[in-house]
Structure 1
């Protein structure tokens, strides 16, 4: 594992990298300057495109419920969006490998914009299946958002990877906190466009996703993955090679306890967050909360996800990835306890949702960094795409089951089931930590 980590820190030297004359040496001042520029551009894209993601979080479930007339179908909005992210994560990673991060991330935001337009058309027609198709395409925004954090580590020094990654995660705060609060303006805008009230916020999503695409396509130069000398410089996007590389990526993860720990934290942490967050707007609405209150609660949740991430990143660089992963599991348990015992009271639900976001931040920042640095650089883009696919597949399952669990056992039962998912991650992290100590 140590040898793999060492190799991961040594960039491969492509024959003809498209890096606009920038020196590929690790210690080069030019390289450091490009890293700072890359992080700034990624942060800018996350800010503007995050508005599109945040605005649909609080409105997607309510729109499906309005169109279908059934509360049990509300969870489908998050389910299909998460499934869309899962389906497109690996293709985006393959596109990044073949043509660089600009191509991969830009395609994600553009597909999401097409999805938001589809939702608007479908909502005007009252078509539930077409609305779900649009939300499936919007999942590309989640995939691009997740892969942006990895782009921040392409040129980062080993001791600063978690910090760089966390800054990109943090930058989503501005747009994502603002986005849910557009529910009110969106509802006011909807009648003028002939749309159901919850569909109005998707107008803002279209503009935000297009802005994110423009920032990436125009400003992310030179491309960080190409400059790092990663597999993207090979420019061989042959489809038959993707399966081979994915199998190699899977072998890399299964052979490394560190990578498995990071992957477990990412996947199950995402499932906890998605399952509880999906049904919270419906729970609040059923207890008389207005759309503005629902939007504020989701904003607090998103602030917990992203707002403290720079602190989480520094902590992960200072005390280690595994302790921060364990901290996240403890916060998850506290969050689900607060929300699950709220009885529909708005303040405990809001506090629980905020802590749910903090737990997700710990699991995502520390888990992503641990996973990325524990595999060989040659397989890193595919491992990153594979991890995002698994995250979103499990999240989609959580979103799909959340409505049924709530119907059967109530919102408290849903939170209890989510809390149980922290147990295997904690066990895996403790096992890896004890094994690492015993081998020293």
Structure 2
């Protein structure tokens, strides 16, 4: 297999291990910054739209827009990375997210919903880039430690992701002092954070992990990189690629749908911005903080078992969110923590499955296309969540999401049986 050969060659070339360590350090720094950036839209995006439009039914639209924007950005970042390497692809993605943040602030200041929607679409580039960075961490990793390399990049998002929502109140005060709407405060933070992340990557992500991985592969003997497979192997690879994508798509759909409407639900229950910011901070922490453990579990016990655990955990999150009293911040925080953990299980296991399957020659492009499907799922979850809550209730949304996550069980069981 190409991936195994590449992994052994990587270990054999002097300096490659040091390069991987340096790359992971740079990615960690950029992820800390970008984590704060992506948390802004999650924390106040729905509230800003509700305030400007005066309608709860469209409160999920911001999440749908910036996840739809992340779909387009995933294609662009993937193609730029394929052609020129991870460094320019990721840097351009974060810079685009910073421009989107500035657009949101301008739209709110002008009270222009149309501009807000356009800006939120552009802002989604930051979310897509944050996710694409996990692939950069895996490019030079040994296959036996690939999930742990992915998790190292993901866990770095925790620091910024947890800090971001808790800065909603102080950044709101800053925005007010500048004569801007209070809810634009977190977008001031996201604009600065995304711009700094782009700068760090542009200056420090050297050597480029994808380009170096190609150089290593090109230096191997021809028989070590033989990509020819039997028809059965080709079919198995396709099934694995589809499984990895399905795992990440379903977990993203369920997570975004429930997460998007939680701040609105809490607002309707009389909770303030600080309380919803705390719950979202706990949620984002649970999305990323368990990554080292998840990576170890995936490498130790296998991708399939952790993918199945994702479905069970998301079901528990949906049931708890549906049954938690509206005045209980603690139970809602626990439900959102389980929601984040289930998402983490799905993302790390799905990423490992996908990276194991895709050959190096088309890796970045294919990963970008997979992330497009993930972004579309997030957009669908964000858009339909507001409509469903308006038509039914938040508990109905949460329970539906949890039940939908159970579809992962037969999917992974079918793949495991074929193996």
Fold shared, TM-score > 0.5 on shorter chain: yes
Aligned: 1:392 with 2:375: yes
Going from structure 1 to structure 2, the CA distance change for 1:412 and 1:232 (only over 3 Å counts) comes to farther
Going from structure 1 to structure 2, the CA distance change for 1:159 and 1:174 (only over 3 Å counts) comes to same
Q: Which moved more, 1:219-228 or 1:255-264?
A: 255-264
The aligned runs of 1:232-311 (5 Å cut-off) are 256-311=238-293
Aligned partners of 1:62, 1:154: CA distance in 2, in Å?
38
Once the two structures are TM-superposed, the CA of residue 425 in structure 1 deviates from its matched residue by: 1.6
Match among 4, 29, 32 for residue 9 of structure 1:
4
Once the two structures are TM-superposed, the CA of residue 171 in structure 1 deviates from its matched residue by: 0.5
Question: Aligned-residue CA RMSD in angstroms?
Answer: 1.9
Partner of 1:416: 399
Aligned partners of 2:361, 2:376: CA distance in 1, in Å?
25
Going from structure 1 to structure 2, the CA distance change for 1:90 and 1:254 (only over 3 Å counts) comes to farther
Aligned partners of 1:143, 1:232: CA distance in 2, in Å?
27
- Does the 8 Å contact 2:312/2:406 carry over to 1? no
Going from structure 1 to structure 2, the CA distance change for 1:273 and 1:25 (only over 3 Å counts) comes to closer
Q: Which moved more, 1:131-140 or 1:153-162?
A: 131-140
Partner of 1:210: 195
Once the two structures are TM-superposed, the CA of residue 128 in structure 1 deviates from its matched residue by: 0.8
In structure 2, runs of 5+ residues without a counterpart are 219-233
Aligned: 1:404 with 2:387: yes
- Does the 8 Å contact 1:305/1:358 carry over to 2? yes
Aligned partners of 2:241, 2:70: CA distance in 1, in Å?
21
Aligned partners of 2:217, 2:87: CA distance in 1, in Å?
11
Could you list the per-position Cα deviations for residues 246-278 of structure 1 after superposition, in whole angstroms to 9, with x for gaps in the alignment? xxxxxx799522222111110011001000000
Aligned: 1:333 with 2:315: yes
Could you list the per-position Cα deviations for residues 179-215 of structure 1 after superposition, in whole angstroms to 9, with x for gaps in the alignment? 0011101221222222222111111111101110011
Partner of 1:194: 179
TM-score normalised per structure 1: 0.88
User: How many residues of Structure 1 are paired with residues of Structure 2 in the alignment?
Assistant: 403
TM-score normalised per structure 2: 0.93
Aligned partners of 2:194, 2:4: CA distance in 1, in Å?
33
- Does the 8 Å contact 2:41/2:63 carry over to 1? no
The aligned runs of 1:44-55 (5 Å cut-off) are 44-55=29-40
Aligned partners of 1:425, 1:157: CA distance in 2, in Å?
27
Aligned partners of 1:168, 1:395: CA distance in 2, in Å?
21
SS of equivalent to 1:213: helix
Aligned partners of 2:358, 2:76: CA distance in 1, in Å?
20
